[in-house]
Structures are given as C-alpha cells and as structure tokens.
Homo-oligomer: A and B are copies of this chain.
Amino acid sequence: MSRPEDRAERHKKRMQVRKEIVDAGVAKALEERGVVVLYTGDGKGKTTAAVGTAARALGYGYRVVVAQFIKGAWECGEKNLLGRLPPEQFPLQWHEMGTDFTWETQDFEADRAAARALWDRALAALRDDSVYLVVLDELTYALNYHWLDRDEVLEALSQRPPGQSVVITGRGARQYLKDAADTVTEMRALKHAFDDGIAARKGVEW
C-alpha cells in the first residue's frame, strides 16, 4: 500500500470517529430556545463577535436591538454598514449612551444617568417578544461601575421571552453574569499589535 493511500485511509477513519462524536452531540442537543451568550476577557474580538452575531440574525430577517454601553461617541465601521441597511429588510435598532469612554468623561453621575437611560431602552427590548436578538455591548462596565443595578439586570435576563437571545460583551464579567449565561467565551489576548507600537487599524479594529 502506498503512503498517500495510507494517509487517505487514516484520515477517513479519524473523520468517521469524529462524525460519530459530532452526531451524538447534535442528537442530544434538542432543546430549542433563546440563549444568553457572554463574550468577556481582555482579548480583541468581543464587540466584533457581537456585531457578527447581529449580522447573522439580520441575515434571516430577525429583529435585532443593539445597546452600546460605552462606545457611542466613537465612529465605527460596523455602524456605518448596519446603520445603512434597508430597515424593512433588516430590522435593526441601534441605541448608544452617546457619551465617550468613561476615562475621557471622568464624570460618574453623568455616565450613570446616560447608562440608566440606555438601560431603559434595552429593558423595553428584553420585554418585547418580537425582538429576536438583544446585544448589550460593554454591559460589564456599566455593571462593574455600579451604573446599573445587578439584580435588575439579572431579573430582566431571566424574565425575557423564551425565544429571545442576548449577547453580552465586556471585560471583567463577574461570576454572577457567567452563571446567568448559557455560553461563555473568554477572549484571551496572547499578543496585541498595539503593544508593538502598531496603531489600531481603521476598518479592522474600529
């Protein structure tokens, strides 16, 4: 038997085993309901993954509400794109705090008021069963800075319509938020271009 045939045979056997494992997992995962997905950690990709999820849901024509708890004052490419979609085809609402990063404003009361006003809009979405996906971008900051009441947020998540999914992003998610999520991914920064003196790239990082 020649080597390429060996390799093809080994590959086929490995893939058969893998298919059995994947199929068994799929067969067990039968519960159909909305999920809470949490992206945390200090690596890049948390907001980016939330944007990707919004694009995915919109691609099926589902209603999406995005609430950005920090970055409202920033220009960003994803808002340029998603904000210019025809709303009858891609039903998206995009809410922002409209303030700058908190280390720029340095004003606790103003930040808290802006966060609470935004939370009221998020809360309306979390009570609306015509909304398929709610993105709470950078929510962890609003919680960790005590702009929002933790119990109020947890209650709104658990009381949401059963078909509705939620994506939450931000560094430093506390254990109570991980407990409230169905899926938790920690983005770990193994390496960052910024630390090598390379500027954040337009159209890639913002």
Contact = CB atoms under 8 A, between A and B. Distances in A.
Nearest to A48: B52
A49 B45 contact: yes
Contact of A48 (B53, B76, B182, B204): B53
Contacts of A201: 32-35, 165
Looking at chain A's contact residues, the main secondary structure is mixed
A119 interface: no
Contacts of A1: none
Interface residues of A, number: 90
Contacts of A203: 56-57, 59-60, 62, 132-133, 165
Contacts of A101: 22
A130 interface: no
Contact of A81 (B29, B50, B58, B103): B58
A29 to B, nearest CB: 5
**Of residues A47, A55, A76, A189, which shows the largest number of chain B Cβ atoms within 10 Å of its Cβ?**
A55
Contacts of A12: 106-108
A93 interface: no
A197 B30 contact: yes
A76 B56 contact: yes
Contacts of A31: 196-199
A3 interface: no
A15 to B, nearest CB: 4
Given A30-B199, A81-B56, A188-B188, A18 B103 contact: yes
Interface of A: 4, 7-8, 11-12, 15-16, 18-19, 22, 25, 28-35, 37, 39, 41, 43-53, 55-60, 62, 76-82, 84-85, 89-90, 101-109, 132-133, 145, 165, 167, 178, 181-194, 196-204, 206
Q: Sorted from nearest, which 4 A-B pairs have the closest CB atoms?
A: A59-B80, A59-B77, A56-B77, A43-B185
9 contacts: A8-B108, A31-B196, A37-B193, A37-B204, A52-B52, A81-B90, A84-B89, A182-B192, A187-B188
